[in-house]
Copies of this chain bind each other. A is one copy, B any other.
Amino acid sequence: VRTKKLESPALSRDTVVTRALELADAEGLDAVTVRRLAQEFGVTPMALYWHFGNKEELLDAMGDALFDALPPHAYTGPWHERLRKLLDDLAAALRRHPSSAELAYRRIMACRRGQDITEAALAALADAGFPSREAAFVACQALMTVVSLVANLPGAQPGLTDDERDQHLSVKRAAIAQLPPDHYAHVISAAPYLINCEDPDEYFAFSLDLLVAGTQAMRQRVAAAG
């Protein structure tokens, strides 16, 4: 109908991708559907197939768009500070659209800014003394870690009411509370932190520190072995 056309911008690759990311933010990635997007634009589902070859191409374009939020500046300083800063930037970019973060994994080498940040990471690791193979291993794990951290951060699944989320947490709490305390002492005392993450920023900082610290340690080993 008319009202849809007034609310929505013209159909194009960019407007569809933008709306798709918003939709994923609001209702989860599963809500991103060719038919649903068409409806949002007041258009026939097949209209989207003029702008995208198929749905996979749309998801790829969403993944590419995530990297657009990366700052364009270059990285300077000691290699581990550069690596750390770059991981923070990547995490910040992906956290703008947590439900779509998983799409970034297979697109990093397919878009400009993804290639740039990969080059920056590999350059830092080369400066650290890693041979290209080990540098590639570390870079892969770093990307994987950042994507997983963002995608799996609790509370990242939308489409649930607050009540449903609270109920979900209660179920998990109850399951742990029922464990025999002598066999599961550590699980029980860590329960509050396993069930929910009340400070995502701190969790991110710790996790990325762990990753960089591990990289620093592996650097010594690779140097010692080589």
B-binding segment of A2-10, A12-20, A60-68, A208-216:
A208-216
In the assembled complex, A144 has its CB within 8 A of some CB on chain B? yes
Tally A residues with Cβ within 8 Å of B.
52
Which residue from B139, B207, B216 sits with its C-beta under 8 Å from A137? B207
B176→A122 contact, CB < 8 A: no
In the assembled complex, A49 has its CB within 8 A of some CB on chain B? no
Interfacial chain B residues near A136, Cβ < 8 Å: 190, 193-194
Interface SS of chain A: helix
A144→B137 contact, CB < 8 A: no
Interfacial chain B residues near A147, Cβ < 8 Å: 148
B186→A122 contact, CB < 8 A: yes
- Tell me whether A176 and B215 are in contact in the complex, defined as CB-CB below 8 angstroms, given that A122-B186, A190-B139 are known contacts: no
In the assembled complex, A160 has its CB within 8 A of some CB on chain B? no
> Shortest beta-carbon distance, A221 to chain B, in Å?
8
Interfacial chain B residues near A179, Cβ < 8 Å: 115
User: In the complex, A183 Cα to B74 Cα: how many Å?
Assistant: 12
User: In the complex, A118 Cα to B172 Cα: how many Å?
Assistant: 15
10 cross-chain pairs, A with B, having the tightest CB-CB distances, nearest first: A214-B214, A136-B193, A122-B186, A213-B217, A132-B190, A210-B214, A136-B190, A213-B214, A144-B148, A132-B189
